[in-house]
């Protein structure tokens, strides 16, 4: 959110939890705390990221500018995951990534803190509304994360075996 353009393909191969966030929502405290904890638990190896997209479309609960949103999240919750610039997630001016999430999941956000789980291949696994806590979806996130790691290991082994059969020893 520091004014840099970030191509989302930077997160290709990683499991991501994409969330529309708001600073003044009744769900803010519980969700931010749990999202930070999840990022801390799974994000250390560069194979998982929470991606937060502030949105002011639901109840006007994200009225601050981008700098204030970032300061709020970092000061109050020690957020280290990416927070992108404020966007619309429904109706007009919806970015392509959100159109994709809505189309593939079959669920458009109806409030703040909708969560979309995406596997390392870019497939939308599931979507949950704000009434479903991060703790309630954690098992699904961990399962997707572990499957992604296993798939990478399988690919690595297959590549290694291919290399072994390609080279002769002297």
Q: Catalytic residue at 163? A: no
CA angle 54, 57, 62 (to 5 degrees): 45
User: To 10 degrees, the CA torsion angle through 145, 151, 152, 154?
Assistant: 150
- Catalytic one of 15, 22, 25, 127: 25
Report, as residue numbers or ranges, the catalytic residues.
Answer: 25
């Amino acid at each position: 959110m520091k004014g840099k353009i970030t191509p989302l393909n930077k997160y290709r191969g990683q499991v991501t939890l994409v969330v529309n966030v708001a600073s003044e929502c009744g769900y803010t405290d519980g969700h931010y705390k749990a999202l930070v904890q999840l990022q801390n638990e799974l994000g250390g190896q560069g194979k998982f990221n929470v991606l937060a997209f502030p949105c002011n479309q639901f109840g006007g609960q994200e009225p601050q500018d981008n700098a204030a949103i970032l300061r709020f999240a970092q000061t109050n919750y020690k957020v280290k995951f990416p927070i992108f610039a404020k966007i619309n997630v429904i109706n007009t001016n919806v970015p392509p990534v959100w159109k994709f999430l809505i189309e593939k999941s079959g669920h458009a956000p109806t409030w703040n803190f909708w969560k979309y789980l995406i596997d390392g291949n870019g497939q939308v696994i599931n979507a949950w509304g704000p009434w479903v806590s991060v703790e309630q979806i954690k098992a699904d996130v961990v399962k997707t994360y572990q499957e992604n790691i296993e798939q990478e290991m399988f690919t690595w082994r297959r590549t290694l075996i291919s290399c072994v059969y390609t080279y002769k020893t002297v």
